[in-house]
Amino acid sequence: MTLREATIRGERFVWDDQQLDEPRPELFDADWWRARDELLAEAQGRGTAYFLAGLGDVPWVLRHNRRGGALAQINTDRFLYTGLGRTRPVREIRMLAQLREQDLPVPAPVAARIQSSLGFYRGDLITAQVMASRPLADRLAQSALASTAWQALGGTLARFHRAGVWHADLNARNVLVDDSDGFHLIDFDKARLRSPGKWREANLERLRRSLQKFRAASMDFHFLDADWAALRGGYTSVFAAGL
């Protein structure tokens, strides 16, 4: 995988030249895809994720970086610009490329766009869609996972932690589960590579609180204490084995 950089029509782009020959500003415009009848779906979160037909065999996901919290009331999507490499979309596309090189289950990066002006920037990221997958929260709202799947999830998280990957928002919506009960992580715009430390336990605890929150909101949410025990067992086994 080779990431390339260029300025096109006054905008900065970073892209994977195996996924895209050359980026164009319109590829980051949801209305452009909608006009072509190639905007497949939208998903609401902190920002909207747009599911696009893409230009190849695999559909794309477009996300526009948006602020959260009280500041979003007055500034929805502008961030302080201190260099291309410090922008969220560029950090994320580089992180995804690095994790893909390590065979970690993350979406394939396609392209990032930065629009900078007067010391601020707006940013967008396109990734390949993880096919036949849905958020773990949605899956558990409909049916239970087998104990072996929870163990597999624990093992997947252990692989990320052994690689030093700290996911800033590890929750039940940023874990995808596919039709084969394989797991993938998404949303790495604030992720970091860190030295070993207590952050690993804090990361797991963040996911557990997320699952408990969904369970508290619905009696039909399929998450038991035994499921978490299975996850921890899978985590410990894979982490210790160095797989």
119 CA to centre of own chain: 27
User: Using one digit for the tens of pLDDT, what is the confidence trace for 87-145?
Assistant: 999 999 999 999 999 999 999 999 999 999 999 999 999 999 999 999 999 999 999 99
Shared domain check, 179 and 73: no
Catalytic entry in 16, 169, 187, 227 = 169
Q: Indicate the helix (H) or strand (E) that contains 5.
A: strand 3-8
- CATH code, domain with 205: 1.10.510.10
Asked if 195 contacts 203 with a C-beta cutoff of 8 angstroms, the reply is no
* Residues 104 and 12 occupy one common structural domain: yes
- CA 160 to CA 163: how far, in whole Å? 5
- Of 128, 157, 172, the one marking the end of a domain is 128
Residue 75 is encoded by which pair of tokens? 């500034």
**Residue 50, H or E segment:** strand 48-52
- Same domain (yes/no): 187, 206: yes
pLDDT tens digits for range 11-63: 999 999 999 999 999 999 999 999 999 999 998 765 689 999 999 999 999 99
Beta-bridge partners for 128? 60
Q: pTM for the complete prediction?
A: 0.94
**Do 78 and 137 fall within a single domain?**
no
Cα 37–Cα 89–Cα 107 angle in degrees, nearest 5: 65
CA-wise closest residue to 129 among 110, 114, 142: 110
- Model confidence at 65, pLDDT cuts 50, 70, 90, reads very high
Separation between Cα atoms, residue 32 and residue 21, nearest integer Å: 19
What pLDDT, on the 0 to 100 scale, is given for residue 2? Answer: 86
User: Is 169 part of the annotated catalytic residue set?
Assistant: yes
How many domains in the chain? 2
H or E element at residue 117: strand 109-117
Residues 137 and 119 occupy one common structural domain: no
Domain termination residue (choose one: 128, 144, 163) = 128
Does residue 118 share a domain with residue 143?
Answer: no
Range of the domain at 38: 3-128
Which phi and psi angles does 175 have, rounded to 5°? -110, 125
Residue where one domain finishes, among candidates 63, 97, 128 = 128
